[in-house]
Amino acid sequence: MKRRSTVQTSSKKARRIGSTRDRNGIWCSRPHTEVLGPNAMRERQVADAQHLEDRINEMDAAELRHFQDLHELPDSNAEDNDLEDWAMYDNVLDGTQQVDISHEGGELAALNAMRSDMAKGQHKRRRRVDYRVRRQRTELRNKAFEKEMPEMTQAYMDWQYREAHGQALPVEETGDSGWCHIRVIDVFATSSKRVVIPTSDTIVTALVRQGLIPCAPSNPSVCVTLQALELFRVVNLRSPHLSIHAFVKTLCDLHGVPFKRYLSTQFSITHDVHLAIRASVDSIVQAALRRDSPDWRLRHACPACTYKLKDEKELLFSLLFTMDGNDSLKRLVQYVLDDNGEPLRTREALDTRELNNDLYMASKEVDQWADEAFQDLMGDDFSQSTDVDPSSPDYNPCVDRWQNMKDNVTKRMWGIFDETVAKCGYLKDNAVDHSLLTKLYRAKYPLAVVAKMLRVFGKDLGGGYDIGCKFKSTLMRTPLADDVRDLNYSSLVGSFHGHAHRRLCQLSHLATYIKGLGLEDLEGCERAFSKSNAMAAAIRHSSTFHRRQAIDSYFKHNDDAEVFANLTIFLHDNYKQALDILQSGPTSLTQAMLDLRIADTAIFEQWREEEKVYLQGLSKEPMRETLQMEYYQKLVNLAAASHSLDAARNTWIQLGPSTAAAGYQSHDLSIEVARRKALALYEKDLNLVLDLETKLEIMTRWTPECEEWRQAGDLVAMRRYQRALDHVEGLIVARMFELTKMNMSKTGYKERKHLSKALQTRSQAIRTALDSYNAAARALTIPRRQLQWKEVVEYAFLSDFDLLRDARQDVSSKLWATPAGRLAMDLHYKIKHAREEVGRLNVEIRRVATFVRDEDRYLLHMETQLQTEDAHLAHQVALFRARRGCFNHEHQRRLIKISKLEGFTGTIVPGDAVESGPGEAASVWGMQDPVVGHGAGDVPSVSEDSEDEDVPEDQQDADAVAEEEDTDEELARTLDSVLSVAFD
């Protein structure tokens, strides 16, 4: 077999004699072992040859003669002698060669034994010893593949072009070309193939040109077909649960061979090479389309949000996005520990590969917002936070409720998990468009996200974050504060997470009350994470590179195949939802206002301001009242200590003088100790009472008969009541979240059982807490209403608890505090936001219609232009256009469906985009000889009956059945949630 010369990448373990000191400090010679690479081996050989030459030159005649005698070689090669002996033995055994036989015999048996031993030696397989460590082998292999990546990319594009056009590979075997035998792994079979290697190709590029990906960059023996690798890539993206290990076992079952672990390693290598080639092709395509500028993907991620048109209505929020951290995609890191248990280094193998894309934020962009990076710049202004001090005007009432608002909790987490994933995305596209990935728990990560969003998109942005209230105060204490004010950035809280915030926080940050949000709930990340969590098990223990590669591939595929595909579905459903609210909402609101005797909807804004002022008064307890309650409690403690001291003293006095003179016995000694202990406690409480009397300037000590004692007792009873209320509220919060998680799709059976048991335990805890609350409520001077189990478990929002916290005034007579009043106020804001939603959707629907038209024509124009320059590149642009345009017909059909909705007030006639620079879809209108098509203002050309056109009848029936099943599943989930509450 003729093979082409390749670069040798092996290493060697060498032993040398060196000088070193022993334990006694005496110099001695000892052998040392070291691993030498290719360059080091060549240098060592040159040095050894020079050293030998110097030694020979120093020898005298006698020494030189002895040296030559020792190194004199025989005339014949040892291997040739072995072959001659083998032939002699065969001649003796077959009778052609005579041999003398002794009287005793046994010569033939000896010759036969010698022949067997020689045969074993000839057939013995010599094992090649590789002295490289795994880190070196992996790094050398990756660098070798990386070196040939440009040629492999061109070979891959050539293979795809020939496959699409049905052209065979024109390979002619010449005298200079090489060839090799390769074991080819396909989906249903394994075969051996003879591959010709042209003089213009290396082994790797020749294999890729024939649709094969090798497992090694030099002298490969096993390859996997591109069809098998593409099958795994797509299936894995659609079902991230499927790992390489499981897929390789599937191939083994199909091939009828036992599974070996090294097969997974080989397939993993080829999968990495395949993804690297695809990424390289994508970079070439984006450069050809003039879309390789920094942040291009971020600026064009969502056409409904970023493809702005001329003369369109200006929105209050130019762009909405959400950000959140995902616990499920954490990656565990394992360290090698020293003798003291401190981490020395990670156990992870060396892999210096990095993803070359803008889906991930660079580390330097994030690290510049670390505490230590700008704390020196800000001084004590950053380190001294006032939002955790109840006496501060900037006090945040939600700090105690959210764990990720506490720095000590997040700092502990980073000792276990090396990375978590967070996602920042745009709304209005069925969930979010995954644009930025970074770690998001400590403050620097969301700060880095906001900094980049402000730099790329500018003013009037709205960012949803589950702790947006706390994050807002953090922003104002960083160097971003000026940009936040100048660019009018709004830090918001999503609807789901917002209902776990204090009511005072909700009135300022909750999506329900923010003008301009429409019906957006700012919870897109939660919906996206519920899908991406499927790959958590596969990447939890993977390397840094493979983890990021998996996340990158998943979200890019999800953007193209899910988010963009469902964009018009999302717009249609939102428009229909808003119209339904506007149709039924005003009638219900009018009836509710009549029942409440309200004439104008302006009263709802006044109610919200009154509630905010009221809750602000509750959030701050006057310092004098606090000291008075403490003084009251110390007086109660002093009275109890005085009673205990009197009892201990009376017992002690009963011991007569004769007992004291005779000496204390053990029982008598315990009485003495009890008296001294009671005296110490009394003196301690007395000192505290005296200190408080001085601080409060009390001249006469309070007694149970005075008015001050009674008032302070009421305050203490109210505090006890509020603490009991806090306990009940906390249990209800956990119950709400667990109910939501248990009824959420893709929640596993074991997790559901675990949540079910937790709910049963929590139900008993709620009943116990209710008993304590009701006892505290009855102890008040004006007893509060008793809470019943059925009433509490039906609380949907935590704001219902805040109205029970009245400490100094009764608001039960206020309309905004009644259940009917609160429902009417929420309905008012819902109708108001539905009108805002219609206005925003009218803008976004026209943006999408324009983008679909412009993007298809731009890509078609670029494909036509590249046909004469580079047919292979033009084919890649055609494939990209096919992926982007396969949903255009569905988008046009749904846009027409939206225009036929009763109450639609917008237009689906495409407009003119604001941006028309290089790479922009709208730039096609300024190019020479644009592709012939519809005019700039044409309506999407889809017939009226296009929804059922060219669709078989059985497919229509299947679609109808699927829609009915989705409806039944939603009803089942609702019933399951109701039954879970009812049976608790």
pLDDT in tens, 750-763: 555 554 555 555 56
Question: d(Cα 296, Cα 504) in Å, to the nearest integer?
Answer: 40
583-587, 600-604, 662-666: lowest mean pLDDT where? 662-666
Q: Output 306 or 125, whichever has higher pLDDT.
A: 306
pLDDT of residue 80: 46
Specify the amino acid at residue 220: P
**pLDDT tens string 885-923:** 899 999 999 999 999 999 999 999 999 999 888 888 888
461-464: strand order across its sheet = 433-438, 417-426, 319-332, 461-464, 490-492
pTM summary value: 0.70
Q: Mean pLDDT score of the chain, rounded to an integer?
A: 75
Record the tokens describing residue 246, joined without a space.
Answer: 């499981």
Record the tokens describing residue 393, joined without a space.
Answer: 């005007």
* Burial (CB count <10 Å: 0-12, 13-18, 19+), residue 554: buried
From 549, 528, 529, 530, select the one nearest 538 (Cα to Cα).
549
Q: Specify whether the CB–CB gap between 925 and 913 falls below 8 A.
A: no
Specify the residue for token string 């306990």: 727
Question: d(Cα 661, Cα 69) in Å, to the nearest integer?
Answer: 114
**pLDDT tens string 99-141:** 666 655 666 666 666 666 656 555 555 566 665 566 677 888 8
Question: d(Cα 375, Cα 474) in Å, to the nearest integer?
Answer: 13
Quick check: 319 pLDDT over 60?
yes
Task: Say how many C-beta atoms besides its own lie within 10 A of residue 575's C-beta.
Answer: 23
pLDDT of residue 678: 85
Quick check: 262 pLDDT over 80?
yes
pLDDT of residue 270: 95
Distance of CA 587 to the CA centre of its chain: 44
Question: d(Cα 29, Cα 20) in Å, to the nearest integer?
Answer: 6
Q: Specify whether the CB–CB gap between 249 and 259 falls below 8 A.
A: yes
From 500, 641, 583, select the one nearest 903 (Cα to Cα).
583
Burial per residue of 457-492, b for 16 or more beta-carbon CB atoms within 10 angstroms, e otherwise: beebbbbbbbbbbbbbbbbebbebeebbeebebbbb
Question: d(Cα 69, Cα 87) in Å, to the nearest integer?
Answer: 31
Specify the residue for token string 């072992």: 33
Specify the amino acid at residue 352: T
Quick check: 846 pLDDT over 90?
yes
Collapsed DSSP state (helix, strand, coil) of residue 444 = helix
Give backbone dihedrals phi and psi of 32, rounded to 5 degrees, phi first.
-125, 145
Q: Output 672 or 165, whichever has higher pLDDT.
A: 165
Question: d(Cα 31, Cα 23) in Å, to the nearest integer?
Answer: 16
**pLDDT tens string 418-469:** 555 555 554 445 434 444 554 444 677 888 889 999 999 999 999 988 888 8
pLDDT of residue 979: 35
Specify the residue for token string 């022949």: 115
Q: Specify whether the CB–CB gap between 870 and 878 falls below 8 A.
A: no
- Show the beta-strand stretches assigned E in 227-352: 319-332, 335-337, 343-346
From 398, 326, 392, select the one nearest 554 (Cα to Cα).
326
Q: What is the DSSP string of 860-890?
A: HHHHHHHHTT-HHHHHHHHHHHHHHHTTHHH
Angle at 638 between CA 632 and CA 644, to 5 degrees: 145
Question: d(Cα 160, Cα 717) in Å, to the nearest integer?
Answer: 79
Record the tokens describing residue 68, joined without a space.
Answer: 């030559």
Mean pLDDT for the stretch of residues 960-971: 56
Q: Specify whether the CB–CB gap between 781 and 807 falls below 8 A.
A: no
Q: Output 971 or 870, whichever has higher pLDDT.
A: 870
For the chain, helix, strand, coil in percent to 5 are: 60, 10, 30
Question: d(Cα 297, Cα 295) in Å, to the nearest integer?
Answer: 5
* Burial (CB count <10 Å: 0-12, 13-18, 19+), residue 972: exposed
196-205, 516-525, 729-738, 824-833: lowest mean pLDDT where? 729-738
Q: Specify whether the CB–CB gap between 350 and 138 falls below 8 A.
A: yes
Question: d(Cα 37, Cα 374) in Å, to the nearest integer?
Answer: 44
Band (pLDDT 50/70/90 cuts) for residue 947 is very low
Question: d(Cα 327, Cα 333) in Å, to the nearest integer?
Answer: 15
pLDDT of residue 440: 45
What residues does 373 pair with on adjacent strands?
none
Record the tokens describing residue 14, joined without a space.
Answer: 């060498």
Contacts 24+ apart (CB under 8 A), 972-977: 973/743, 973/745, 976/743, 977/739, 977/743
pLDDT of residue 482: 92
Quick check: 377 pLDDT over 50?
no
From 112, 103, 135, select the one nearest 35 (Cα to Cα).
135
Whole-Å CA distances, 371 to 93, 363, 375, 383, 473: 88, 15, 6, 8, 15
pLDDT of residue 77: 46
**pLDDT tens string 472-502:** 888 888 889 999 999 999 999 888 777 677 7
Q: Specify whether the CB–CB gap between 422 and 326 falls below 8 A.
A: yes
Mean pLDDT for the stretch of residues 8-30: 54
Quick check: 619 pLDDT over 70?
no
Distance of CA 781 to the CA centre of its chain: 53
pLDDT of residue 395: 57
Band (pLDDT 50/70/90 cuts) for residue 228 is very high
Quick check: 660 pLDDT over 70?
no
Burial per residue of 658-673, b for 16 or more beta-carbon CB atoms within 10 angstroms, e otherwise: eeeeeeeeeeeeebee
2-16, 302-316, 514-528, 670-684: lowest mean pLDDT where? 2-16
* Burial (CB count <10 Å: 0-12, 13-18, 19+), residue 171: middle
Question: d(Cα 834, Cα 838) in Å, to the nearest integer?
Answer: 6
Specify the residue for token string 């990656």: 331
Q: Which of 60-64, 97-101, 223-227, 298-302 has the highest mean pLDDT?
A: 223-227
Angle at 681 between CA 678 and CA 686, to 5 degrees: 125
